[in-house]
A and B are shown apart, each in its own frame.
Chain A
Amino acid sequence: MVSSLATSPPLMAAQPEIPLLEGRPSDAELTDRLLTPLWTTARGWWLLFGVTALGTLWLMVTVTYTVITGIGVWGNNIPVAWAYAIINFVWWIGIGHAGTFISAFLLLLNQRWRASVNRIAEAMTLFALINAALFPLLHLGRPWFFYWLLPYPTRMSVWPQFKSALPWDVAAVATYFTVSLLFWYLGLVPDLATARDQAPTVRRRRVYGVFALGWRGSARQWYHYRTAYLLLAGLATPLVISVHSVVSLDFSISQLPGWHSTIFPPYFVVGAIYSGFAMVLLLLLPVRRVFRLEDIITRRHLDNMAKLLLATGLMLVYSYIVELFIAWYSGDMYERYTYLVARPFGPYSLIFWAMIAANVLTPQLFWFRRLRTSASVLFGASLVILAGMWTERFIIIVTSLNRDFLPSSWHFYSPTWVDWSILLGTVSLFGLLFLLFIRFLPFVALHEMKQLRYGLVQGESSRGVAAV
């Protein structure tokens, strides 16, 4: 099975126009091109670094302020006891789905086009998860007791309450983060060794050497590596499904109209992959442009990812329709009110319709191949979809809470400057981590590219065709 990876025929043969790799660069050429960004720093990088570092600093300030003063500095209230923190949590977790989906899911499905994009996607996953993990911690009234949610053996024999979704949530996110980190790092090892071998200074050679864990590229090492990678992929794939399913249970185990819904697990997973792909595109497109990687990340990649956006987008639309239909069909007056009155016509109707426009209409662009392969259209669409998915979580969380069963407790929610600061601060932190990543680590999986090229060349020569 391991060897079949390299030798299987290309699955995308039905659409031969756009190749997965333009030209057939040699191993040395690939190494040179893809490692250059590690040895040089552009002025633009410093600029972006400065901006995101400032944003991150501001995040730290506002987080400290929140922890010292109490989460009353946010806009949350009763009835809207969960708001930005949980919206941001779900949003970031969702974004964190694309990486593992691309690396693990597509690996198991033999999608070779993943080779040039998986590293960026995986890194993005980790950074998104770091941001996501911040929120469940921060949103606690007493964050210093966060460990009470963990099942550790206490002297008093007090355990978490396992009927609640929250301990499971903690476990699911922690597992996902651990596996994603291992998976990402394992994939990096051969490339870290290449970087070690190519590094211009002794210090860098030593640093990369330490992290390369003594990789020599022997056949035995490759054999173990492949086995471990595949096993981790097998482990990570169900997690892609489980994490957001568990996150969705935070809502669906409650009895709140708008939350209490059995469609939530698949609906959340689909939405997560949808937003994750949008984020991958948002990061990939500038990288591709700046580092002139159009031959490596080809229009074929863009086309494939746009198709995934379209597919997941359509599934999301289906979920929206099912939600509305079931709300009506159930005959439950509270459900009906939430779905059919409060959301489309209530105080947050503007946000609801913005969500519909962003998440339902935007992917319809990708019925057209020209738009699927246009970098600028994809970039714009990704931004809109990311914003749309954020508003989706806003709608799910805030509009369900702010008008529930007793009209007497209905109350408006609006965020404070601290809410906005923390949201934008995490975006900065995410950008900062990503900038450090592309500056210090090989952001395209070098050895996988070489392997892809080898596979393509072999296929060509065996079938005697000119191009794939």
Chain B
Amino acid sequence: MTHWRSLEELAGSAEFREALAHEFPPGADEPASGMSRRSFVQLLGASIALSGLGGCLERPRERILPYVSNPPELTPGLAQYYATSMVLGGYATGLLVESHAGRPTKVEGNPDHPASLGAAGVFEQASVLQLYDPHRARRPRRASKELSWPEFTSAVSPAKLRRYVGDRGAGLHFLLEPTSSPFVGDLLVRLRALYPAVGIHFYGPLTSPMLTAAGTMAFGRALQPVYDFRSADVVLALDADFLASMPFHLRYAHDFAERRRITGPSDPMNRLYAAEPVFSPTGSLADHRLRTTGTSISEVAWLVLAELVQNHGLSPEGMPAGMRSLLGTVETDDGRLRWSRAVAADLAAHRGRSVVIAGERQPVEVQVIAHLLNSALGNWGKTVRYIDSPFAAPGNDGGGLGPLMDASAAGQVTTLAVLEGNPCYNAPADLDFSSRFSKLYLTLYLGLYENETAAEAKMFIPALHYLESWGDARAYDGTASLVQPLISPLYGGRTPADVLLAFLGEPDAQVHQQLRQFWQQRVASADFEHFWDTALQRGVLPDTSAPSVTPTLKWNGLDQLLTRSPAGRPPANEPAVELVFLPDPKVYDGTFAGSPWLQELPHPITKLTWDNAAMLSPGTAARIGVGSGDMLLLEADRRTLRVPALIVPGHADDSIALNLGYGRWADGEPVARGVGFNAYRLLPSMRYILPAVSATQALHSGIPRRHDLAVTQTHWAMEGRPLVLQAALEDYRHHPDFTRGDKGRTLSLYEPHKYTGNQWAMVIDQSLCTGCGGCVVACQAENNIPVVGKEGVLNSREMHWLRIDRYFSGPADDPEVVAQPMLCQHCEKAPCEYVCPVSATKHSPDGLNEMVYNRCVGTRFCSNNCPYKVRRFNWFDYNAEVSETEAMAKNPDVTVRARGVMEKCSFCVQRIRASEIEAQIAGHPVRDGQFTTACAQACPTKAIIFGSFADPDSAVAHAAAEPRAYAVLHELGTEPRVRYLARITNPNQALEDQHGV
């Protein structure tokens, strides 16, 4: 393994400037105003001194009351957990939400829910902050006038509305986000019964129309595949980031990891091939990654299929003989052909035990070829099953924005109700949605914020957050679960169901009641009460997973798709590059752009925060003549976008990728406003890849040519240091002790520390870490970690206790990427402890490196002497400006740190102590797995294992005993309690020499 030089260091470039514009989120920057801790103490002293005088004054009498009768389930000081579901992109993920005295503080995965299995992604976990966002809309209005709910319901009641839209509802249209809610689906059906001509449309910018289109094309029916990675030995991902961003990714990651995890050199391991233009977490875990443009993925898919059919005698079910000849030999890029042949051979050798998965952004032909490949490989019914889409599709509108805009152009839209979503911001640019929307006669928008769509709507109703509302939804596999509120509405607001009920003329109907009734009618249970309570407790409605459908390929029309031989394509010599639009791993489609946690979460690969950028390969950047941070001018279909370039090693040449969701402009979301660049300005309808756009240096005078990109990691190489150790599975089998030089006891002059009781420790399996960032957000939510804003990140002052280091290795143009979660290593011989002049950081008998905030005076010597640089310093009073509602999101079990003190990972000491107390009351020792840290809990691949070394049978002790375990920077003699498992890959010998590992 050769580690290569630094690619781009902001530190080294002369252009590097510190951005001095104040871009703090609330609470990050302001000088301490109001009462400082110091003046508080002074006042406290003064008030004690003067307290005797208090008797001279008549104070107003106030009464405080205790609970007269305690709520039976509530013990003050103990958290409750409630099951609910969060819907993203139309699909539900089951959650357990921690609630303290009636306020939800932390979102965790529901182990009983098939889309979570106990894990939670970054969006789910950060959603709790959105609940308390002080910028949420509070006031329903018509134009700028107050609009009461009765006024609204009477305005849209059938009696009134019929005057405008007639009995059939002509001209009445609804636009919703794609929804899998059976209840909302039913309401829509009822609406259509009331108004037969009503238009019901669905639009979510990241809900790919390709899935259903491919289903229709291949099977004549909108079937969607559900993969079972637990049975897959070989996986081919065609631009599919199934481990971190596709729907159901938490489950997929969990299943994939089950076959990836090894507990010793003799264990088998699955193999992952990935062909992709943009480095994704899935690509970073791949054993063989083909760096290729998004438009050439279809060629790769085609080549694999041709290879299977021609050389391995494997054809998709019922393939007409005539079509086989279409898959003839082709002349193509040599590397691509070799790669495809090797992959095809490996897949053919694992018939029925493989998976081919196509990314949602890939066009229909790739999706269809993936179906054909799975069919040819005999994976149907084994690793791939097909189900009907769980999305509600009432009637046959054909649904998207296109038909709605066509109707609007034809003057057939008079009234449009937009229920959630944000189409004025995120509609494809070619539809010109916003200007049409603002011209309609009556427009209604239901949304969480006064956002871009709210600004154009004539009537606006604040929406409820999911943690405040009742509802239901289905997971990607069809499993239904309930959404139950954790808190009564903070600011008032309504759900889409409320609005639909108003249109149905039932303004007084309660969503809760209606929902219950809906399910009561559908559940054949003798004891519905029991069924309902169980469903709410478990968070899942039993046996609702969608039944598998046996698909039949419709070969008519597929011949054309297969004929389009890639060899016939013109060579891409033009200066044009392709443009790939991506869901953002931090703000999704822009929905979470107002979340400071997510804005400050580093991008899994680029480590970029508070921005998006045009990602491109070093070669393409050199050709265009830009470096990271230089402004780039992108032009497609006469629309332009100026966006900074960001060079990413491993990106495909001639490809530029943009994350959607930035460049928001609405005043109602001040955190999101002006952050990043709006990629929707170039997004076309029904496509996520533009094959040819022009990309040039932005040279307009008067416009800044550079943009400061706040990346948390400016150096990308390991410099030949033994930080992330890795080996191929074969090598590990032959040399299981290859990490022996990086572990074991080291010599010391000092007496060893006296340890008693449990010995807390952690093991991180680097074979399984995708770098998704779920642990980082979990840690942030659990431990009340503040955000520092873009300027703070530019100054390298981010506060994350747990960060994910990312290193590139291998050849510069086609490197490998490895992720290494880095947190306090709880060294047994901690370098931070002996340098602290005031004993503010000490060792506990159970092996924790403890931080005593009260005692810290802030010399920062501990940070200087920490070789892992995991200590964080409160440069300002980061909590000074936290609003009242945001303060409610704080975990009451964890101290909110003051200005001027050091902080760092505590191994979630609050959880350790809580379970010790729990175990003591129950009269048994703390059991392995009784609790875990927030990071370990959130991890979808279970790459983080936490427990006690004192228990030789604990999972963590077993993992640490694995031959490939080691300690980072072992030679320093710090003896860390966090051990890493070397990254093991499972390369295909046939491709070994090509990849050059």
How many residue pairs link A and B with beta carbons under 8 A? The number is 184
Assuming the A-B contacts A141-B858, A146-B857, A164-B837, are A77 and B868 also in contact, with contact meaning beta carbons closer than 8 angstroms in the complex?
no
Task: Note all chain A residues with C-beta closer than 8 A to B857.
Answer: 140-143, 145-146, 148-149
Name B856's contact: one of A72, A142, A167 (CB within 8 Å).
A142
Q: Does A182 contact B (CB under 8 A)?
A: no
Assuming the A-B contacts A347-B11, A407-B807, are A161 and B837 also in contact, with contact meaning beta carbons closer than 8 angstroms in the complex?
yes
Q: Does A440 contact B (CB under 8 A)?
A: no
Q: Annotate B879-910 by CB proximity to A: 1 below 8 A, 0 otherwise.
A: 00000000000000000001111100000000
Bound together, the chains give a CA A384 to CA B875 distance in angstroms of: 34
Bound together, the chains give a CA A325 to CA B722 distance in angstroms of: 24
Bound together, the chains give a CA A164 to CA B842 distance in angstroms of: 13
B875 and A72 contact, CB distance less than 8 A: yes
Task: Note all chain A residues with C-beta closer than 8 A to B831.
Answer: 254-255
Q: Does B839 contact A (CB under 8 A)?
A: yes
Bound together, the chains give a CA A410 to CA B822 distance in angstroms of: 14
A79 and B865 contact, CB distance less than 8 A: no
Main secondary structure of the interface of A (DSSP, over half): loop
Name B837's contact: one of A72, A166, A333 (CB within 8 Å).
A166
Q: Does A409 contact B (CB under 8 A)?
A: yes
Minimum distance in angstroms from A128 CB to a CB of chain B = 22
Determine which residue in B720, B899, B901 has the highest number of CB atoms from chain A within 10 A of its CB, and name it.
Answer: B899
B805 and A70 contact, CB distance less than 8 A: no
Q: Annotate A139-179 by CB proximity to B: 1 below 8 A, 0 otherwise.
A: 11111111011000000001111011111001000000000
B834 and A164 contact, CB distance less than 8 A: yes
B860 and A161 contact, CB distance less than 8 A: no
Q: Does A76 contact B (CB under 8 A)?
A: yes
Determine which residue in B10, B16, B839 has the highest number of CB atoms from chain A within 10 A of its CB, and name it.
Answer: B839
Chain B interface size band reads 35 or more
Q: Does A253 contact B (CB under 8 A)?
A: yes
Q: Does A337 contact B (CB under 8 A)?
A: yes
Task: Note all chain A residues with C-beta closer than 8 A to B720.
Answer: 333
Nearest-CB residue, chain B, relative to A405? B867
Determine which residue in B806, B831, B859, B871 has the highest number of CB atoms from chain A within 10 A of its CB, and name it.
Answer: B859
Assuming the A-B contacts A148-B855, A410-B715, are A71 and B11 also in contact, with contact meaning beta carbons closer than 8 angstroms in the complex?
no
B848-876 residues with Cβ-Cβ distance < 8 A to A are 855-861, 863-865, 867-869, 871-876
A256 and B875 contact, CB distance less than 8 A: no
B718 and A161 contact, CB distance less than 8 A: no
Bound together, the chains give a CA A165 to CA B862 distance in angstroms of: 12
Assuming the A-B contacts A140-B857, A141-B899, A141-B900, are A82 and B864 also in contact, with contact meaning beta carbons closer than 8 angstroms in the complex?
yes
Task: Note all chain A residues with C-beta closer than 8 A to B36.
Answer: 68
Nearest-CB residue, chain A, relative to B792? A72
Main secondary structure of the interface of B (DSSP, over half): loop
Bound together, the chains give a CA A139 to CA B900 distance in angstroms of: 10
A407 and B837 contact, CB distance less than 8 A: no
Q: Does A402 contact B (CB under 8 A)?
A: yes
Task: Note all chain B residues with C-beta closer than 8 A to A254.
Answer: 831, 835, 861, 864-865
Name A408's contact: one of B11, B806, B838, B859 (CB within 8 Å).
B806
Nearest-CB residue, chain A, relative to B16? A412
Bound together, the chains give a CA A429 to CA B831 distance in angstroms of: 37
Bound together, the chains give a CA A70 to CA B902 distance in angstroms of: 13
Q: Does B929 contact A (CB under 8 A)?
A: no
Q: Does B520 contact A (CB under 8 A)?
A: no
Q: Does B795 contact A (CB under 8 A)?
A: yes
Task: Note all chain B residues with C-beta closer than 8 A to A404.
Answer: 867, 869
Bound together, the chains give a CA A258 to CA B861 distance in angstroms of: 15
Task: Note all chain B residues with C-beta closer than 8 A to A158.
Answer: 838-839, 855
Task: Note all chain B residues with C-beta closer than 8 A to A337.
Answer: 719
Q: Annotate B208-245 by CB proximity to A: 1 below 8 A, 0 otherwise.
A: 00000000000000000000000000000000000000
Bound together, the chains give a CA A254 to CA B871 distance in angstroms of: 16
B718 and A70 contact, CB distance less than 8 A: no
Determine which residue in A139, A142, A406 has the highest number of CB atoms from chain B within 10 A of its CB, and name it.
Answer: A406
B796 and A79 contact, CB distance less than 8 A: yes
Task: Note all chain B residues with C-beta closer than 8 A to A70.
Answer: 31-32, 874-877, 899-900
Minimum distance in angstroms from B713 CB to a CB of chain A = 5
Q: Does B717 contact A (CB under 8 A)?
A: yes
A253 and B11 contact, CB distance less than 8 A: no
Determine which residue in A76, A79, A81, A259 has the highest number of CB atoms from chain B within 10 A of its CB, and name it.
Answer: A81
Q: Does B928 contact A (CB under 8 A)?
A: no
Task: Note all chain B residues with C-beta closer than 8 A to A141.
Answer: 856-860, 873-874, 899-902
A393-449 residues with Cβ-Cβ distance < 8 A to B are 401-412, 414, 416
Minimum distance in angstroms from B978 CB to a CB of chain A = 13
Task: Note all chain B residues with C-beta closer than 8 A to A167.
Answer: 837
Name B864's contact: one of A72, A81, A140, A159 (CB within 8 Å).
A81
A19-48 residues with Cβ-Cβ distance < 8 A to B are none
Minimum distance in angstroms from A187 CB to a CB of chain B = 34
Bound together, the chains give a CA A409 to CA B860 distance in angstroms of: 16
Bound together, the chains give a CA A401 to CA B831 distance in angstroms of: 15
Q: Does B714 contact A (CB under 8 A)?
A: yes
Determine which residue in A71, A142, A146, A334 has the highest number of CB atoms from chain B within 10 A of its CB, and name it.
Answer: A142
A72 and B797 contact, CB distance less than 8 A: yes
Bound together, the chains give a CA A145 to CA B38 distance in angstroms of: 10
Name B860's contact: one of A81, A170, A256 (CB within 8 Å).
A81
Task: Note all chain A residues with C-beta closer than 8 A to B867.
Answer: 255-256, 404-406
Q: Does B924 contact A (CB under 8 A)?
A: no
B797 and A414 contact, CB distance less than 8 A: no
A407 and B717 contact, CB distance less than 8 A: yes
Task: Note all chain B residues with C-beta closer than 8 A to A142.
Answer: 856-858, 898-901
Nearest-CB residue, chain B, relative to A170? B837
Q: Does B429 contact A (CB under 8 A)?
A: no
Minimum distance in angstroms from B415 CB to a CB of chain A = 52
Minimum distance in angstroms from A401 CB to a CB of chain B = 6
Task: Note all chain B residues with C-beta closer than 8 A to A334.
Answer: 721
A63-87 residues with Cβ-Cβ distance < 8 A to B are 68-72, 75-82
Task: Note all chain B residues with C-beta closer than 8 A to A406.
Answer: 721, 723, 805, 822, 867-869, 968-969
Bound together, the chains give a CA A402 to CA B864 distance in angstroms of: 10
Name A149's contact: one of B32, B723, B837, B864 (CB within 8 Å).
B837
The 8 closest A-B pairs by CB, nearest first: A141-B858, A141-B900, A72-B875, A166-B837, A409-B869, A408-B805, A412-B11, A81-B860
Jot down 15 A-B pairs with beta carbons below 8 A, ordered by A.
A70-B900, A79-B869, A141-B858, A158-B839, A161-B834, A164-B835, A165-B835, A259-B864, A333-B720, A403-B715, A404-B867, A406-B723, A410-B9, A410-B714, A412-B796
Q: A166-B859, A254-B831 are in contact. List 6 more A-B contacts (CB 8 A).
A: A141-B900, A148-B857, A160-B839, A163-B834, A255-B831, A405-B867
**A residues near B, CB below 8 A?**
68-72, 75-82, 139-146, 148-149, 158-161, 163-167, 170, 250, 253-256, 259, 333-334, 337, 346-347, 401-412, 414, 416
